[in-house]
Chains A and B, each alone.
Chain A
């Protein structure tokens, strides 16, 4: 019976055979499972969700308007940190990649490799939080503590490098704010050695847990073609079986010189594109990130990380759209310059915003309790959704 429940609830007319009434329930904005201040209007018929209407904007901090009032492009970076505040390095990375293409700056190799290492570390951090809190949404509290413990080690490396643990202002246009510490290589290597077994531990604890699989497999299925029409990206797209990763398909920085796999959802515990697939893609991505970090730290060349910093940031009039693969998906910056030192327009195409827009498509026909599982599997950060 339990196995068939997911199929039964998606049949046309389920829940309507008994004459019931539609009801609107508010979930949020202060609900613990919405990962921030998001309000979902659930239109339910009994236990079955007919429609979901997300209401955003509670964390709208006018990022784009602020950018138009900066006196210098460099000032945007601390604000970019605060978009996706659990993976701030990745946001900076996207912005500096866009700006360097606009200014036609070639940055030193050392800078590129350090940036890649930092971006992959931030992917690990972001996925640890995503997986830990996802377990907590489903009802498994312990994995969250394990994830937070491992995250601390990465934050320690960030703190030693640039002094900050969460919001770094580390990547500058054309370089970095600090070079890494002399013992950086050993620290990174010992972390990689420490972290690999911890992924296995997480798998034993949560990923292959029978209850966890029952809550996530066959729930919130997003087929690949629907995913593409919604332009979702990152683990949500790859969970639907589409092999697409900007680090491979539209390479930037030095990713084309590093070897790694793109994990995709294969429906091993249910259907391709269900919550478990999206979850598992993140676990495998952490393994791949460790691989990338190890290769990058071996290849790390020497050099000055501030040699390419421009004296004056004043791009020619023109526009650019540059996208990078952050832990959440495709983060794009559309920057328009009018030839002055102030940005004319900075638009952020945030992966969380786009991924969240596919939520109604995933939730229709699901049970109320599954909405929490589906929302957690998208892994949104409201700072990036609302900007």
Chain B
């Protein structure tokens, strides 16, 4: 299916949860979705026979600066050989995204990484812990406004 057809299928099924689609003029066409509907939309994209997005290639956290975080999903369907990008935005303080871990298992570690480095919470994730940083680390290092702490557990952090 073309990106436009994928967008239309999503729009019919989910209405306002599909916010907008930028399908031309970009290298990868993307669809913007509501963060609290990510799981339902993911399940639909995976199981609908016309779409069959069986592989989540990549899930990235983002900091768009100006108090907005985001999550970007890159999906691919092996059966139909088409791709789509989903984007969602949440406020940087107390942002919640619904977890797609139950749709694609690979999202488990990707979502933990996004939480670790950006700080948005994934609702419905079975194991929402830090993954790359130590468990007692303060703050979320990939945010644009992140300040390197002077001390970690009483030890001076060099530069």
A residues contacting B by CB (< 8 A) are: 56-57, 60, 62, 64-65, 68, 101-102, 226, 228-232, 244, 249, 318-321, 323, 330, 332, 334, 336, 345, 347, 349, 353-354, 357-358, 361, 386-387
Contact = CB atoms under 8 A, between A and B. Distances in A.
Contact of A228 (B55, B81, B108, B117): B55
Contacts of B142: 64-65, 68
Contact of A231 (B27, B85, B106, B130): B106
B72 A357 contact: no
Nearest to A231: B106
B134 to A, nearest CB: 7
Nearest to A228: B54
Interface residues of B, number: 31
Contacts of A57: 130-134
B78 A353 contact: no
A386 B104 CA distance: 21
B55 A321 contact: no
Interface string B89-123: 00000000000000011101100000001000000
Nearest to A102: B27
A249 B56 CA distance: 16
Contacts of A232: 106
B109 A357 contact: yes
B60 A334 contact: yes
Interface in B56-82: 56-58, 60-63, 72, 74, 78, 81
B89 to A, nearest CB: 14
B106 A354 contact: yes
Given A60-B133, A65-B142, A336-B62, A230 B106 contact: yes
B78 A345 contact: no
Q: Which of B26, B60, B62 counts the most chain A CB atoms within 10 A?
A: B60
B143 to A, nearest CB: 10
B132 A347 contact: no
Interface string B16-37: 0000000000111000000000
27 contacts: A56-B131, A57-B130, A57-B134, A65-B141, A68-B142, A68-B144, A228-B55, A228-B78, A229-B54, A229-B104, A229-B106, A230-B105, A230-B106, A232-B106, A249-B81, A319-B26, A319-B27, A319-B72, A320-B27, A320-B28, A321-B57, A332-B58, A334-B60, A334-B72, A334-B74, A345-B60, A357-B105
Contacts of A357: 105-106, 108-109
Contacts of B133: 57, 60
Contacts of B72: 319, 334
The 5 closest A-B pairs by CB, nearest first: A231-B106, A349-B58, A347-B60, A57-B132, A357-B109
B24 to A, nearest CB: 13
Contacts of A68: 142, 144
B99 to A, nearest CB: 15
A354 B112 CA distance: 12
Nearest to B57: A332
Contacts of A230: 105-106
A349 B81 CA distance: 20
A330 B108 contact: no
B27 A318 contact: yes
